[in-house]
Structure 1
Amino acid sequence: MKLLALELPALVTVVRVLGVILGLLGVVLCLRLLRLKQADLTSARVVKLGFVALPAVAFYKLLAFLGLFAVPVAAVGVANYHVFEGTREVNSCNQCHVMTPLVTDMRDPHSNTLAARHFRNHWIPEQQCYHCHTDYGLNGTLEAKMDGYRHLARYTTGTYKEPIVQRNVYSNSNCLKCHDGTPRYLTVSSHRTLAERLQGNEVSCLNCHGWAHPTRAQRTPGSPDYNRLMGKEKR
């Protein structure tokens, strides 16, 4: 007898459904509390929940706690998780106007930037932006999370400037987590000589391996490369 194989839904889908359920539950609870009357709170009244019987006052206190605190907190937690998980996808980055040149260049088969070479050679099969910028994920640092929220706020309010500029120093740890210790990496003498300085970010991997993305000048509106990087024209 052949059993049917059941494919479990993706975690992102589960989180989305859970978020919708929590949102609807919160609305229902609040509407129920708004319809509450003085007569519903009589000490003699009892509300049955399965095998449990609660005084009406205790029941509505529990309802208020769930509707005004527990469910909203859970919904915010789920929403934040969904946001951080969503940042792993390339399309999530590409939704921001100032990030489009970076994504366009990465997908350009003729580009020689570090990001484009990684993408073209399938060195990172999926979630390419996230794998090189893991600080923005759920397990990233508080500073990186605040930067992410700052980017979102500036984009939403239209107060951003082009081209986008990275405020902090790019950490070599994002490169070393994949390359450090591999046979090909260790065959390069400078990698061994500069090992401690690379791990301490005293020397950048980009010093030898070139630009990860198009230069700031290329991404500036009005530059010869700007329209191409914005996807408005082809090479």
Structure 2
Amino acid sequence: MIVIVSAVAVLVAMIAHAAGHLTANRLGRLVLLGGLAILPLVVSGAGVAVGVRESSQTQFCMGCHEMERYGQSLFVDNPNALAAVHYQKRLIDRDSTCFSCHTDYALFGDAKAKLNGLRHVWVHYFGTIPPEPRLYQPYPNYNCLHCHNDARGYLEAGPHRELQAELQSGARSCLSCHDLAHDLEGVKAQNFWLPERARP
């Protein structure tokens, strides 16, 4: 963010410095007008880019109180809880844990994930927060297969070999077997792998 602000400040200073020379002829005025038209677009684009990056961070997702239990579930001591296993074994980047699993890896998946995120933000501020947040559509297998499809552990597991065609086509959901994404009962029981003071 500091880099963007600095770049805009330098650009504005250059335009201000050159404004006297640019206004002396018609081409200069057109260049100045074009620069003034482009500047808001550059600033807006940079702001959106920063917002997208920041909203992809795990800390952003945990900023809403209704998501607090889901954040705590990353630390539950349960080898069957998908979020906990992926987080604790560093199978995904900890700084973008939520986004890594909940983005759609298809074409325009990031944009779709951000639009769904805006729906969550809208409900958070202006709607009625449901007791249990739900996904807007069934969780697609390709979100899992994006990382696991060529992983040795996945390929060598007997059930995966037997069901490969069904898993690839989406006829059978990965969640039909791996059905515990977030262990909220473990959160309630305070069954954590690390005490809160020791968490990253």
Tell me, yes or no, whether TM beats 0.5: yes
Distance 2:115 2:79 in 1: 31
**In structure 1, which of residues 103, 107, 119 is the aligned counterpart of residue 71 of structure 2?**
103
1:115 CA displacement: 0.6
Higher relative contact order (CA 8 A, sep 6+): 2
Number of the residue aligned with 2:81? 113
Per-residue CA distance 1:162-198 (angstroms, 9 max, x = gap): 3221111112112112222333222223212222221
Corresponding letter in the other structure for 1:146: L
Distance 2:165 2:45 in 1: 39
Distance 2:73 2:10 in 1: 44
Residue 54 of structure 2 corresponds to residue 91 of structure 1: no
Number of the residue aligned with 2:21? 48
**Correspondence list, 1:77-226, <5 A:** 77-109=45-77, 112-126=80-94, 127-135=96-104, 140-155=109-124, 157-162=125-130, 163-214=132-183, 225=188
- Relative to 1, partners in 2 of residues 1:87 and 1:135: Cα closer, same or farther, differing over 3 Å? farther
**Structure 1, 96-105 or 124-133: larger mean CA deviation:** 124-133
Distance 1:114 1:17 in 2: 37
Please tell me the root mean square deviation across aligned C-alpha atoms, in Å. 3.6
User: Is the CA contact 2:79–2:85 (under 8 Å) kept in the aligned structure 1?
Assistant: yes
What is the DSSP-based 3-state SS (H/G/I as helix, E as strand, rest coil) of the residue aligned with 1:161?
Answer: coil
1:209 CA displacement: 1.5
- Relative to 1, partners in 2 of residues 1:109 and 1:169: Cα closer, same or farther, differing over 3 Å? same
Distance 2:76 2:68 in 1: 12
Residue 33 of structure 2 corresponds to residue 70 of structure 1: no
Corresponding letter in the other structure for 1:140: G
Instruction: Give identity over the alignment, percent.
Output: 27
User: Is the CA contact 2:55–2:61 (under 8 Å) kept in the aligned structure 1?
Assistant: yes
User: Is the CA contact 1:105–1:111 (under 8 Å) kept in the aligned structure 2?
Assistant: no
1:125 CA displacement: 4.7
User: Is the CA contact 2:21–2:28 (under 8 Å) kept in the aligned structure 1?
Assistant: no
* Aligned length, in residue pairs: 186
1:129 CA displacement: 2.0
- Relative to 1, partners in 2 of residues 1:146 and 1:125: Cα closer, same or farther, differing over 3 Å? closer
User: Is the CA contact 1:114–1:212 (under 8 Å) kept in the aligned structure 2?
Assistant: yes
Q: Which has the larger radius of gyration?
A: 1
1:141 CA displacement: 4.8
Distance 1:205 1:212 in 2: 11
Unaligned segments of structure 2, at least 5 residues: none
Unaligned segments of structure 1, at least 5 residues: 1-15, 33-45, 219-223
Q: TM-score, normalised by structure 2?
A: 0.72
Distance 2:60 2:66 in 1: 12
1:102 CA displacement: 0.8
1:113 CA displacement: 1.7
- Relative to 1, partners in 2 of residues 1:79 and 1:140: Cα closer, same or farther, differing over 3 Å? farther
